[in-house]
Chains A and B, each alone.
Chain A
Amino acid sequence: MITKRIIPCLDVRNGRVVKGTKFKDIKDVGDPVELAKYYNDQGADELVFYDITASYEDRDIFLDVVKDTAKEVFIPFSVGGGIKSIEDFTKILRAGADKVSINSQAVKNPDLIKKAASKFGSQCVVLSIDAKKVKDSYNVFINGGRKDTGLDVFKWAKKGVNLGAGEIVINSINTDGVKKGYDSDLINKLSNIVNVPIIASGGAGEAKDFLDVFKNAKADAALAASVFHFKEIKIPDLKKYLNDNGINMRRND
């Protein structure tokens, strides 16, 4: 039976993994390649790297991180942050990543999803959506959660999948960084609407949050950063807990 996936997320700036709350109070977490190896040994099912730098010089450092990781870590990993074109896809996939995730640029230029899917296959194209509750609906936000596009999250997700996205990362701005659990209502609704794997993001604080998002919101994978980085939750313990509670996990590696 296919397992649910646990995915640590590594935000990379100037060649280091960092973590902050809403771009403030940035803390250094460690060397990305070492951390990737550590999570691989701990039993992470997949990894995500986000490039949170802006300048061109830093992008090259970031690509080297991707290359070095691919030499030593033999589990799937995806890369996101600032992807604008098919050329960006090519560079990242050549550096050894398996998937590329796109967010703001996909909203601005939906054709990028279609082009990337037809060139590299849908399995390479991850649509990342930042969602925030506005009155009674969920809207798509872009530019690091600063701009409300007015787009309905569910309509956008459906359109993204029709254009060729093979997976969706759904990040709830309301629950992100709060550590009070994933936005199960949002994720559950999305699970019922699209037929591609869904990765829940934003809000993991304790083991039962993972259980809730897998069991009640039907997520296929759960992404988290700080609870893993600061060792508040250890992946082997988490997987044991989930397994004991009826969630199928890969635990033999």
Chain B
Amino acid sequence: MIAIIDYGVGNLESVYKALESLGFESKITRNIDDINKSDAIILPGVGAFKDAIENLRNMNLVNPLMKNIKKGKPLLGICLGMQLLYEESLEDGKWKGLGFFKGSVVKFKGDVKIPHMGWNNLNVLKKDNITKYINENDYVYFVHSYYAKGEYNDLIATTDYKVDVPAIVRKGNVIGMQFHPEKSGKVGLSLLKAFGEMIK
């Protein structure tokens, strides 16, 4: 079972439905037993960083998540869920994140429309199992105003929005996707399929 973490933000239903269409069993939950029993975890997210991280803390979900990551369980952070895995965010202030990935979440600058909203193509930099079903320049759907400035070693794929935006990052069993795989048509479903297949 894949636990989709329900921490009071975001559109969880579409992640659930996408997994269902692929034949993966999943559960929208904030129950710690469910999280411990799950085979993989998805941290979704739409909304503001501050509210999200506060909700995770107030629901006592931070320790269970980090424990399960340490055990080697696959975890996928989507959009804000990916950003939460970084050390800090500069979204309307300065907020401490989960610190799994090194780096900060910063706002787009310069002559671009904000939010970065729409279909943009991936530049796959590194061969990885998570991208095994997609092509190198496939399009995925992005909606975000902030992006993660992290370490080069964690990058699997970037996208170009005047700056190189980390689109897929990975460190061991933990993956982040800045776009919405559950809204990226066949390409997105292929990425979720590859994630589901990480379950041992």
A interface majority secondary structure: loop
B113 touches A197 (CB 8 A): yes
Instruction: Determine if B141 is an interface residue (Cβ-Cβ < 8 Å).
Output: yes
Residues A70 and B139 in contact, CB atoms below 8 Å apart: no
Query: Can you report 21 A-B residue pairs in the complex whose CB atoms are below 8 A from each other?
Result: A2-B120, A45-B118, A45-B119, A70-B14, A74-B184, A74-B185, A74-B189, A75-B141, A93-B11, A96-B11, A96-B13, A96-B14, A121-B46, A123-B143, A195-B114, A196-B114, A220-B118, A252-B135, A252-B138, A252-B139, A253-B186
Contact A96 B17, CB 8 Å, known A1-B160, A5-B119, A252-B139: yes
When the two chains form the complex, which single residue of B47, B139, B182 contacts A74, counting CB atoms closer than 8 Å? Answer: B182
**A124 to B183 CA separation, bound complex (whole angstroms):** 14
Query: Would B120 and A1 count as touching, CB distance under 8 A?
Result: yes
Inside 8 A of B182's CB, which chain A residues have their CB? 74
The reply to whether B139 and A75 contact each other, CB–CB distance below 8 Å, is no
Contacts of A197 in B (CB 8 A): 113, 115, 117-118
Interface residue range, chain B: 35 or more
Contact, CB under 8 Å: B13 / A94:
yes
Given contacts A74-B188, A196-B115, 18 further A-B contacts (CB under 8 A): A2-B120, A5-B118, A74-B21, A75-B183, A76-B183, A96-B14, A96-B17, A98-B14, A98-B143, A98-B183, A122-B145, A123-B117, A123-B144, A124-B46, A196-B114, A220-B118, A250-B119, A252-B187
- Interface status of A170 (Cβ within 8 A of chain B): no
Question: A253 near B117 (CB under 8 angstroms)?
Answer: no
- Enumerate the 4 nearest inter-chain pairs by beta-carbon distance, A residue then B residue, closest first: A250-B139, A250-B119, A123-B143, A2-B120
Whether a CB of chain A sits under 8 angstroms from the CB of B68 is: no
A40 within 8 Å of B (CB atoms): yes
Within 8 Å of chain A (Cβ to Cβ): is B98? Answer: no
**Is B121's CB within 8 Å of the partner chain A?**
yes
A235 CB-CB contact with B under 8 Å: no
Tell me, yes or no, whether B116 is within 8 Å of chain A by CB.
Answer: yes
Determine whether the beta carbon of A74 is less than 8 Å from that of B18.
Answer: yes
Count A interface residues, CB 8 Å: 31
Contacts of A96 in B (CB 8 A): 11, 13-14, 17
B17 CB to nearest chain A CB (Å): 5
Tell me the bound Cα distance from A41 to B143 in angstroms.
22
Cβ < 8 Å to A, chain B residues 171-197: 180, 182-189
Contact with A along B8-27 (1 / 0, CB 8 A): 00010110011011000000
A221 sits at the interface (CB 8 A): yes
Indicate whether B48 reaches chain A with its CB closer than 8 angstroms: yes
**CB-CB contacts below 8 Å: A1-16 with B:** 1-3, 5
Render A165-201 as a binary contact track against B, CB cut-off 8 A, 1 for contact: 0110000000000000000000000000001110000
Enumerate chain B residues within 8 angstroms of A120, measured Cβ to Cβ.
46-47
Contacting A at CB under 8 A, from B114-167, are 114-121, 135, 137-139, 141-145, 160-161
Does A71 interact with chain B (Cβ within 8 Å)? yes
Smallest CB gap from B111: residue in A: A195
